[in-house]
A and B are shown apart, each in its own frame.
Chain A
Amino acid sequence: MPPPKEVAGFPSKENDEDQQYSFAVEYTGPPVTYDIPRAVPINVEKIPVAAVVSKVPLSNTELHIPVVPPILAPDRNKFSKELLLQPTVSPTSVIAFEERVSEDTNNCLLSGELSSYESGELAELIINNDSSSRGLAAVCSVSNEHSSKIDSCDSFDKSRGSSSRARISNDDDLNQADWGSNESVLSLDYPSSRVSSLKTGDCNNESNGDVRRPQVVTFRDIESEDGLDEDFSQDEVQAQVVRVKREPQTKGKKGSCYRCFKGNRFTEKEVCIVCDAKYCSNCVLRAMGSMPEGRKCVTCIGFPIDELKRGGLGKCSRMLKRLLNDLEVRQIMKAEKFCEANQLPPEYIFVNGQALSYEELAILQSCPNPPKKLKPGNYWYDKVSGLWGKEGQKPSKIISPHLNVGGSLRPDASNGNTQVFINGREITKVELRMLQLAGVQVAGNPHFWVNEDGSYQEEGQRNTKGYIWGKAGTKLVCAVLSLPVPSKSSNSCEEQLKSMTSRSVPDYLEQRTLQKILLVGSTGSGSSTIFKQAKILYKDVPFSEDERENIKLTIQTNVYGYLGILLEGRERFEEESLAEMRKRISSKETEPEGSSDGSDSKTIYSIGPRLKSFSDWLLKTMVSGNLEAIFPAATREYAPLVEELWKHAAIQETYNRRNELEMLPSVASYYLERVDEILKTDYEPSDLDILYAEGVTSSNGLACVDFSFPQSSPDENIDTAEQHDSLLRYQLIRVQARGFGENCKWLEMFEDVGMVIFCVSLSDYDQYSADGTNKMLLSKKFFETIVTHPTFEQMDFLLILNKFDIFEEKVERVPLTRCEWFDDFHPLISRHRTNTNSNSINNNPTLGQLGFHYVAVKFKRLYSSLTGRKLYVSHVKGLEPNSVDAALKFAREILKWDEERINFSLSEHSFYSTEASSFSH
């Protein structure tokens, strides 16, 4: 049933026109009788361009479908027929109209040609027509005016009858054919491939369904009294619906399909898991659409399922298998089982008198030994022993202990009356009996303390008195008394706890608990260092084997790069010193007794021919730009040579003048001083090496890491908030744009992030980019672009002023005013600086701190002038783990405040709902 083929497509009407309208096809037809306008001598004024083109009518040409001629006669019967004719153009248009109508039920406004017929009657008519086609008896009552014509609409059978009667009465009518086709619409037996907007299932449809909800019937009396009730608002209906359980929209005759009203109770049908509507195989695909949440009517999407049907989730019927292919069925079943809307609503499950939260439910369901077939209800849970049962009943299962769910266990949880307590719960008679049979001394109403392994002790005593389930017979007794025994899988509690922390969070929860943080910064701002720090700080295995191998190659390649820069510098210095020497010699030569050792052109920067050739080759490779391609493989070969080179006096001499080589990054010395070690094949980069390394995080611009902040201290009392925190996971996304222009198109992909961390290198204030602009000003410009980007309109920003350590050192030497943005930096510096430097106890801030605060304020002012909001600023030393940790924790706090702010404003609204307007922003 291929719909697109059956539905006449675009080409069908274009095929015949195709040739003529093609632009540059050579004309091969018969010679034309008229003059073809030549393009050569054009008189601009003579071309009536606009006039002619505008004459082409926009619509209503002869090509058009049977357009409804203007209706003159007010004859209602004819009117209705005409109108019904319109929808018969195609089944879809019927539905399209119907939806439009039902969107605002009585105030119908048809667009397009039909807008001239804007009237309530039309709406009713169409509803009438449509509802009879679907047997929507309830809505029919809205249009009471016409219920006399298309006889009563109280029951579907009648309306069907009426429609068929109408057809019979119109048999001799001219429009009989139209009615016939209309009937085909009514019975909905047009091929399933026909377009059907029922599948659309968007909000219109939903409201559509709401209107037809049986509750609407209650409006009937009012409406039949005073005709159309203009106040009949959807909101009212909707409000009703949310509270009540969803019920099927329509009810045909018993056992028939809810959509086509055919068949009986024995025909195979698929059931909606929300509203219990049943559809036959012809209708199920149209009624349920693309089933994004499993077998639900389109109108039921997003609603929680009928709990009675939970057991059937993910179990496919034969019918669906017949209708769809295997892959499709699998996807539907997967969606049905795992989509969020179909999950057990946690607020329906009470454990120890407390409704669960999403996270608690996730804990409960993902523990190694979960309660099976959890249904909504009240339960009690003994956290120490893992006993689990329904409120007021004996235990039904022993689940994993120590789960942090629900409230505290109450003594009367299982409604016992034996005066014997286990872990503070008064046990039932059956349990007492079991204890007696297990040989436990229960005389004197003892209070027992039972652990998950069955060991028990009396309250207030230290020694374990025995194991309840230790005896072989006990398990038999338990089976007889239908009491639970611990399952074999529950091993040591340590192991369970471990598996708990490493468990995977279900997909739908992941979305909810994952907080995304975007980390941006221009090149050289150290954002990659922060990213690497986060990885090292919060991941158990920060870098995998593969990654480490790649990092190793990157570092080694980098080292070759640094060497190349050194060699280049060496050449320069050699030339310089040679020139100087020659000058000196020539000046000497003017003196008569000048010694002629000028032949010796050796300087301190000269190297031997072997090293020279290597150096030339290395420089050539660098210039051609394929250093990366060559070096990983060549490492082994050249390592000894490089070592020799490095140890050579010329290179060392050059290295001593490294501050003259502006190409050489400051980190180079870190690696160069250990060059022999790094270039070994068995070199393993340490964490610090990785931190220092350039270009390690994917050069493609995007890297992300999922992490959760570790609990501050393990032996701390874990309260529920902390527990939830461990579920809260963060994703740090680092992006590096190559050229930041206005074209940050991909930024709109990050609109779901919780906050943006913008990274600026503090020490950039005296650095200049290749084209001579100050790097700090470049950062400022980029900052402006990002914060004003429409995607981040309401986003929180944390500015990280990185490389504070370098800044502190540099600002003493180079004045901050070097950057023109900071030209009004006039710090008040105490005269006795030497004193303040020597003892840090003195409260005078250092110049570095002053500078940092000054820059921070500069950025804050800029930010608030751009957005009117507050900027969070933190200074960071990228290479120090604690500093990065503090900054990221600060980011977490900001996210938390944000949530609290939302909650606060929400609660405010609910408390002061009357004054809400005064509070609104």
Chain B
Amino acid sequence: MSVAELKERHAAAIEAVNDLRERLKQRRQQLLDADGHKLHSFSLLYYLAGYARSLGRSQVTFGPTDLVCCRTLQGHTGKVYSLDWTPERDRIVSASQDGRLIVWNAQTSQKTHAIKLPCAWVMTCAFSPTGQSVACGGLDGMCSIFNLNSATDRDGNLPVSVTLNGHKGYVSCCQYVPDEDIHIITSSGDQTCVLWDITTGLRTTVFGGEFQSGHTADVLSVSINGTNSRVFVSGSCDGTARLWDTRVASRAMRTFQGHEGDVNTLKFFPDGNRFGTGSDDGTCRLFDIRNGHQLQVYYQQHGDKEVPLVTSIAFSISGRLLFAGYSNGDCYVWDTLLARVVLNLGSVKNSHENRISCLGLSADGSSLCTGSWDTNLKIWAFGGHRKVI
């Protein structure tokens, strides 16, 4: 069989797949319309809301001073692109376009490490579960890991301890697998996600890719299930989110349609049965991984102006609140249950002056950190006074 022949067949197969995909999409739409699924889920939520009220609960309300900026982390000279908290201690790592990773002590707001990166175009960073090392990735297509305990070289720079090389596109997101320091999942512009073994520096599993039922465009984000670390979701420029099992590389367990733009960010819901997404279409959505249905849409009308993109999301520990950062500098706090905006951090005092590019909740859920293109990070905490009975 010659190469040309194979190529032909490949092209034909791709066409067939695309056709099938289109039909699947239509069928899905039909089903949704037919059994009134949307109404169903709505009524369920309505019921939940009603039930909550019957117990004397009501919508979460925040006063303007309830969530206040209590720290500003200054030190970057470029746009902040990504941040991550340590699981236990109150440290934050942030990545910026000035080509540096900075590790902050969130309590004293001081820097403990400033790591100069070999490639300045960094897009993502992550703290390891033990807090011993940080990982970052960017346009160089590599995921670099720095051990925070290693000695600095002559110029005072921290050396790269491991380089994970193998992606054919930029590395858009990385997250450590929670249980140990040796596995990390990265997503990339080459349409794949990869599970790496850090000790060997090799790819353990590749999710997606040319001949597999993976994403059909750049993968922008991954999130690992907090309760079952074998499961993760990925969001992509093809407007879908996919659910993967790390033991099954061949195909995605589920594909979640619904967004009308690139899925920029996604995060698992704390209970591990749902996940939230944020997209270029300006909406956040909540999907259920068990039945594959969309549960809720979070969208704020913006008049006829340009719709701001969702850049980053995070859930509160209980899951009741969804924090979403937008490209216009807004940061909404959503009531996940009622899909109402509780507070806009972009309108309170001391808010960021530019796009909020990343946000993250500390492990104990007590504070929120936002990173922005105005080069600063801010830590927000509950500043109000509430009677705890």
Contacts and interface: CB of A to CB of B under 8 A. Distances in A.
Instruction: Please determine whether chains A and B interact with each other in the same assembly.
Output: yes
A752 B44 CA distance: 49
Given A39-B43, A700-B168, A701-B170, A56 B338 contact: yes
A745 B70 contact: no
15 contacts: A10-B382, A18-B320, A37-B50, A200-B71, A289-B109, A292-B75, A301-B74, A323-B108, A331-B111, A335-B75, A700-B167, A700-B169, A701-B189, A702-B119, A749-B121
A738 B172 CA distance: 14
B213 interface: no
Interface string B57-78: 1111111111011111111010
Contact of A21 (B1, B44, B190, B320): B320
Interface string B199-224: 00000000000000000011010000
Instruction: List the 5 closest pairs (A to B, CB-CB), nearest first.
Output: A700-B141, A9-B366, A195-B70, A4-B366, A112-B64
Contacts of B52: 17, 20-21
A42 B40 contact: yes
Contacts of B337: 21, 23
A739 B191 CA distance: 10
Interface string A483-500: 000000000000000000
Interface in A574-633: 619, 622-623
Given A23-B274, A23-B295, A285 B385 contact: no
B236 to A, nearest CB: 9
B317 A11 contact: yes
A14 B317 contact: yes
B70 A738 contact: no
Contacts of A623: 1, 3, 6
A11 B318 contact: yes
A290 B111 contact: yes
Interface stretch (A62-70, A125-133, A355-363, A896-904): A62-70
Contacts of A571: 2
B381 A7 contact: yes
B383 A195 contact: yes
Given A24-B273, A59-B63, A622-B3, A290 B110 contact: yes
Contacts of B53: 56
Interface string A269-295: 000000000000000010001111000
Q: Which of B36, B71, B376 has the most CB of A within 10 A?
A: B71
A501 B110 CA distance: 37
B168 A699 contact: yes
Interface residues of A, number: 101
A292 B364 CA distance: 27
B55 A290 contact: no
Interface stretch (A44-52, A217-225, A392-400): A44-52
B262 interface: yes
A89 B384 contact: yes
A18 B318 contact: yes
Interface in B347-364: 347-350, 353, 362, 364
A428 B319 CA distance: 81
Interface string B313-355: 0001111110000000000000001101000000111100100
Contacts of A52: 46, 49-50
Contacts of B66: 65
A331 B114 contact: yes
A328 interface: yes
A461 interface: no
Contacts of B376: 202
Interface string A190-202: 0001011101111
Interface stretch (A93-101, A153-161, A403-411, A443-451): A93-101
A182 to B, nearest CB: 13
Nearest to A19: B318
Q: Which of B55, B107, B237, B273 has the most CB of A within 10 A?
A: B107
B318 A7 contact: no
Contact of A619 (B3, B321, B365): B3
Nearest to A10: B316
Nearest to A286: B109
A719 interface: no
A285 B109 CA distance: 8
Given A331-B111, A700-B140, A12 B388 contact: yes
Nearest to A285: B108
A3 interface: yes
Contacts of A100: 349
Contacts of A830: none
Contacts of B36: 42, 44
A250 B388 CA distance: 38
A199 B70 contact: yes
B345 to A, nearest CB: 13
Contacts of A335: 75, 111
Contact of B367 (A9, A64, A112, A622): A9
Given A23-B337, A193-B107, 4 more contacts: A56-B59, A93-B65, A290-B110, A334-B156
B349 A746 contact: no
B388 to A, nearest CB: 6
Nearest to A56: B59
Given A21-B318, A89-B384, A112 B170 contact: no
A112 B321 CA distance: 21
A880 B338 CA distance: 66
Contacts of A840: none
Nearest to B388: A12
Interface string A6-42: 0111111111011011111000000000101101001
B139 A749 contact: yes
A92 interface: yes
A307 to B, nearest CB: 24
B69 A200 contact: yes
A712 interface: no
A324 interface: yes
A36 B43 CA distance: 12
B302 interface: no
Contacts of A14: 316-318, 320-321
A7 B382 contact: yes
A534 interface: no
B20 interface: no
Contacts of B59: 56-58, 61
Contact of B218 (A53, A204, A324, A745): A745
Contacts of B113: 327, 331
Contacts of B381: 3-4, 7, 9, 195
Nearest to B51: A20
Given A4-B364, A47-B43, A20 B350 contact: no
A701 B75 contact: no
Interface in A297-322: 301
A899 B35 CA distance: 64
A739 B167 contact: no
A96 B349 contact: yes
Contacts of B132: none
A773 to B, nearest CB: 14
A698 B376 CA distance: 32
Given A61-B59, A701-B141, A328 B111 contact: yes
A96 B121 CA distance: 36
A111 interface: yes
A2 B365 CA distance: 13
Interface string A443-466: 000000000000000000000000
Given A13-B386, A741-B237, A289 B57 contact: no
B246 interface: no
Nearest to B36: A42
A546 to B, nearest CB: 13
Nearest to A516: B120
Interface string A111-151: 11100000000000000000000000000000000000000
A290 B385 contact: no
A618 B244 CA distance: 35
A64 B384 CA distance: 9
B108 A328 contact: yes
B218 A743 contact: yes
